[in-house]
Amino acid sequence: MKSRKQSELQKPPIRAKALAAPRRKLDRYAVRKWFFGSKDTQGVGKLIAIYGLLICIGFVYLYPLLYMISKSLMQRADLLDSSVNWIPSVLYVKNYVDAFTSMDFMRTLWQSVVIAGAPTLLNMVMCAVIGYGFARYDFPLKNVMLGILIFSFIIPPQITMMPNYLLYNDLKILDSIKAFLLPAFLGQGIKAQLYILIFFQFFRQIPQALIEAAKIDGCGHFKTFLRIAVPSAAPAILVVFLFSLVWYWNESYLTQLYVCGVLGDSFWNTLMVALKGFNDSYSQVGGSVTGEAMGSLNEGIKMAATMLSILPVLLLYFVLQKQFVESVDRTGITGE
Best CA proximity match to 307, nearest among 267, 264, 266, 278: 278
End-to-end CA distance of the chain: 86
Question: Cα(268)–Cα(111) distance, rounded to whole angstroms?
Answer: 7
Element (H, E) at 23: helix 14-36
Question: Cα(118)–Cα(112) distance, rounded to whole angstroms?
Answer: 10
DSSP symbol at 228: I
Phi-psi region of 264 (alpha: psi -120 to 50; beta: other; left: phi over 0): left
Question: Cα(132)–Cα(125) distance, rounded to whole angstroms?
Answer: 11
Amino acid residing at 114: V
Q: Where are the alpha helices (DSSP H) in 205-331?
A: 208-216, 221-224, 230-232, 234-250, 253-254, 271-276, 278-288, 299-319, 321-331
The pLDDT tens digits along the chain (336 residues) read 445 555 555 555 555 555 555 555 556 666 676 666 666 677 777 788 888 888 898 888 888 888 899 888 888 888 887 777 788 888 888 889 888 988 888 999 999 999 999 999 999 999 999 999 898 888 888 889 988 888 888 888 888 888 899 999 899 888 889 999 999 998 888 889 999 999 998 888 888 888 888 888 788 888 888 888 888 888 888 889 988 999 999 888 888 889 887 766 678 888 898 888 887 777 766 555 544 556 667 788 889 989 999 899 888 888 887 776 666 666 555 444
All structural domains of the chain, each given as residue ranges with its CATH number in brackets, are 44-94 (no CATH), 103-276 (1.10.3720.10)
Mention every residue, 6+ apart, whose C-beta is less than 8 A from residue 264.
Answer: 256, 273, 277
Mention every residue, 6+ apart, whose C-beta is less than 8 A from residue 228.
Answer: 206, 210, 211, 214, 219
Q: What is the pLDDT of residue 314?
A: 87
Best CA proximity match to 197, nearest among 144, 136, 132: 132
Question: Cα(281)–Cα(103) distance, rounded to whole angstroms?
Answer: 7
CB 124 within 8 A of CB 333: no
Question: Cα(328)–Cα(332) distance, rounded to whole angstroms?
Answer: 6
Q: What is the pTM of this model?
A: 0.78
Query: 288: exposed, middle or buried (C-beta count within 10 Å: 0-12, 13-18, 19+)?
Result: exposed
Q: What is the pLDDT of residue 31?
A: 66
DSSP per position, 92-112 = -THHHHHHHHHTTHHHHHHHH
Q: What is the pLDDT of residue 210?
A: 82
Mention every residue, 6+ apart, whose C-beta is less than 8 A from residue 211.
Answer: 136, 224, 228
Best CA proximity match to 111, nearest among 304, 334, 272, 262: 272
> What is the C-alpha radius of gyration for the chain, rounded to an integer number of angstroms?
31
Indicate if the alpha-carbon torsion angle 123, 277, 317, 51 is positive or negative: positive
Question: Cα(181)–Cα(224) distance, rounded to whole angstroms?
Answer: 27
DSSP per position, 257-293 = IIII-TTS-SS---HHHHHHTHHHHHHHHHHH--SSP
